Amino acid sequence: MNSVRAGLSDAPESVVVGLARSGDRDAFAELVRRRQSWIRNLMRRCSGDTVLADDLAQQVFFKAWQNIGRLQSAGKFAAWLQRIAVNTWLQHVRAKDALQDATDLDDVATSVDHGARLSIDLNDALGTLSEGERLCVVLSYHEGMTHQEIADMTKMPLGTVKSHIYRGTERLQQVLAAYRETDREESAS
């Protein structure tokens, strides 16, 4: 078993994906080992909640296992997994109507002013964005996707994606400025 695992850990991803497509669970476990950090980080940026993020990441890999037989090309595994992750997040948002939960910027800015935080918490900053803005900003900054790629993946119009990223970036800059201000005040005192 350990030798199988050692062999898989050295194998190119396309080979491991090929084995997983044929139903090899050890190969799929190896894919989970390789890709979990990426997917869990992506889900953390999207949700801002580590427990929820891990639960969603589990769902992503479970869906991947159920559908890996339909994956056309082993070389497209990463893009395919990313699409499953984004769809899983969108389904979660729709199910929970999370748009209602987006925190208002003013509330966070106030809490930042009085919060005396020393470090910048990216998830808190992302929490000031609407779900749409947050997803587009995460896909742009965390995943390095172009606006067109984000529009294709999320099925949002390109103009909406652009405005989400523009407004999201502006809001993040405001929140970060507030953090820096707090930081400076604390350093001075």
Partner 1 sequence: MNEERDPRIQRLFADATENLGDDEFTARVMARIERHRRAGYRLWTFIFVMALLAAWMLQGPFQEIAMMLSRALAISLFQVDSPLVAQLVMPLNTIAGLLGLGVLALTFLYRRILA
Question: Which residues contact partner 1 by CB under 8 A?
Answer: 25, 28-29, 32-33, 36-37, 40-41, 45, 54, 57-58, 61-62, 65, 120, 122-123, 140-142, 146-147, 162, 165-166, 169, 172-173, 176
Interaxial angle between packed helices 50-67 and 77-96, expressed in degrees from 0 to 180 and rounded to the nearest 10? 130
User: Smallest distance, Å, CB 163 to partner 1?
Assistant: 8
Residues 64, 86: contact at Cβ < 8 Å? no
Indicate the residue among 153 and 172 with the shorter CB distance to partner 1: 172
Which residue, 14 or 50, has its beta carbon nearer to partner 1? 50
CB 86 within 8 A of CB 156: no
Nearest residue (CB) to partner 1, 52 versus 122: 122
Q: Tell me whether residue 28 or residue 97 sits nearer to partner 1 (CB atom).
A: 28
**Rounded distance between C-alpha atoms, residue 20 and residue 50, angstroms:** 28
Please state the closest distance from residue 29 (CB atom) to partner 1, in A. 5
> Closest approach of Cβ 63 to partner 1, in Å?
11
Q: How far is the CB of 36 from partner 1 (least distance, A)?
A: 5
DSSP for 102-126 reads: PPPHHHHHHHHHHH--SS--HHHHH
Report the half-sphere exposure of 48 (CA within 13 A, side-chain side).
18
14 in Cβ contact with 75 (< 8 Å)? yes
